[in-house]
Structure 1
């Protein structure tokens, strides 16, 4: 783990040395260490103007899916700060449970994230190690697969919904987790996809509307399952 942290620190230094905002943003989106996953917002109000639950909001002023409203990684109406530190331009910061490094999404006054949290006693892994895998970690316990809603204003946990609880059937890469798929919302429905661990639709208050088991995936090279779902009208799209 220490060696991984040293490699990560060097990559952070290289990314910052470029001074290129897109490269820096993409680096941090893809390289958060799963075992130390924490979540912070810097002057978040300048990025996403809030709104009350149930209020009709302009999707272009929200961040309802992976890479934002246009799928480009750009907030068209945002005005974020250009500098951060441990304290500068940081409104709040919280630790999150378990493993998870899917991108957060934002709608109105809520931030949504997913997590895969190991619970209970150690349980020997007897599942599969994918063909061509390297630097993998085994799921050596039962995991809870959950969605959390967090207050945009102060970082408080508004609700948490555990959607499944079992031991994953495959190992995954050490830089990934079993909750790498980003959720998606249209402001009425919240879709969370955990790959082999289920597809779920909730309302904005965390009530489960429906769920779908698409079976176990068999990935190669051990990089894990990370395809984020998409919404198109009344259709949920997964691959």
Structure 2
């Protein structure tokens, strides 16, 4: 079994015992990244603290691909995303042995005494060379639904297939964003590769192209979508035109968009319900709060 398959099995076999007991014992759903309230907390008791082969694992499933996204649960269904490489560039060759050591030359007055040129002031920074080799690769971006009790695959949809629209960190994947569900729709965001909304049976309702933008060092995206009432929120902080976006969950139509004075971040928005009302809170170099209905900056 190859490493890609092991990653898929590990994700479901390790995380699902926690979600199975949470969902089955308390009738709660795990609807988004960090849980239904976004706080990474549950009220269930008696959850397993250890697991392994034959221990606290009800079932496991092979995803065939890779992903850093978390599973989400609604009722008897488990949803997760994955990407499968169909054509990838060979890994760069690295020379054997330790890297060559820099040779330290004479410094300052010693250099002048020996008739050598003294150290010069540092010049302008070397411009970043953007890697575009990913354009020659081919991937499949998938959304998969499993039965919570048995692990049987209910459906699998290919959301996008083709060359990546942007690169990623070599140690990361193209499925970093956790999907979100309200029990009627399941929304999966794959960053610049699209936002996809399905019904609970796997039928595509709508899809949205958020555009292509450069992220820090070309490392890709990771902010997960969030649902509140009839809206889906997408935080897209990048090096060119950061923004926060609200979409109608029924149609995918854009309801509002606000620009953000931020560079690349990977944080997920948080719905904060407090005495003053409900706020959409984001982080970056600056924490900000927005009105989820209008996008107005609150603080």
On whether the aligned pair clears a TM of 0.5, the verdict is yes
1:90–1:221 Cα change, 3 Å: same
Q: State whether residues 133 and 220 of structure 1, in contact with CA within 8 Å, keep that contact through their aligned partners in structure 2.
A: no
Alpha-carbon deviations, 1:136-165, whole Å to 9, x = none? x94753111110001111111110011111
Q: Are 1:186 and 2:182 matched, yes or no?
A: yes
Note the C-alpha offset of 1:181. Answer: 0.6
Identify the match of residue 42 of structure 2 among 75, 78, 87. Answer: 75
Which range moves more in the overlay, 169-178 or 189-198?
Answer: 169-178
Distance (whole Å) between structure 2 residues aligned to residue 71 and residue 86 of structure 1:
30
Distance (whole Å) between structure 2 residues aligned to residue 68 and residue 123 of structure 1:
36
Distance (whole Å) between structure 2 residues aligned to residue 43 and residue 214 of structure 1:
33
Distance (whole Å) between structure 2 residues aligned to residue 117 and residue 194 of structure 1:
13
Identify the match of residue 168 of structure 2 among 169, 172, 180. Answer: 172
Q: Are 1:236 and 2:239 matched, yes or no?
A: no
Q: State whether residues 34 and 176 of structure 1, in contact with CA within 8 Å, keep that contact through their aligned partners in structure 2.
A: no
Residue aligning to 2:259: none
1:133–1:156 Cα change, 3 Å: farther
Note the C-alpha offset of 1:123. Answer: 6.7
Distance (whole Å) between structure 2 residues aligned to residue 235 and residue 45 of structure 1:
28
Alpha-carbon deviations, 1:102-132, whole Å to 9, x = none? 011011111100011122x5579xxxxxx58
Alpha-carbon deviations, 1:19-75, whole Å to 9, x = none? xxxxxxxxxxxxxx867412213265322128xxxxxx96xx100000101211112
Q: State whether residues 100 and 115 of structure 1, in contact with CA within 8 Å, keep that contact through their aligned partners in structure 2.
A: yes
Q: State whether residues 69 and 75 of structure 1, in contact with CA within 8 Å, keep that contact through their aligned partners in structure 2.
A: no
Residue ranges of structure 1 left out of the alignment (5+ in a row): 1-32, 51-56, 125-130
Note the C-alpha offset of 1:174. Answer: 2.8
Q: Are 1:159 and 2:155 matched, yes or no?
A: yes
Note the C-alpha offset of 1:217. Answer: 2.5
SS, match of residue 157 in structure 2: strand
Q: Are 1:198 and 2:173 matched, yes or no?
A: no
Distance (whole Å) between structure 2 residues aligned to residue 141 and residue 216 of structure 1:
17
Distance (whole Å) between structure 1 residues aligned to residue 173 and residue 40 of structure 2:
22
Distance (whole Å) between structure 1 residues aligned to residue 203 and residue 193 of structure 2:
18
Give the number of equivalent residue pairs: 191
Q: State whether residues 37 and 99 of structure 1, in contact with CA within 8 Å, keep that contact through their aligned partners in structure 2.
A: yes
Q: Decide which structure has the larger Cα Rg and report it.
A: 2
Residue aligning to 2:97: none
Distance (whole Å) between structure 1 residues aligned to residue 136 and residue 175 of structure 2:
16
Q: State whether residues 166 and 212 of structure 2, in contact with CA within 8 Å, keep that contact through their aligned partners in structure 1.
A: no
Q: State whether residues 199 and 211 of structure 1, in contact with CA within 8 Å, keep that contact through their aligned partners in structure 2.
A: yes
Residue ranges of structure 2 left out of the alignment (5+ in a row): 91-127, 236-299
- Scaled by the length of structure 1, the TM-score of the pair is 0.71
- CA-atom RMSD, angstroms? 2.8
Higher relative contact order (CA 8 A, sep 6+): 1
Residue aligning to 2:54: 87
Correspondence 1:92-171 to 2 at 5 A: 92-119=59-86, 121=87, 131=128, 138=134, 141-171=137-167
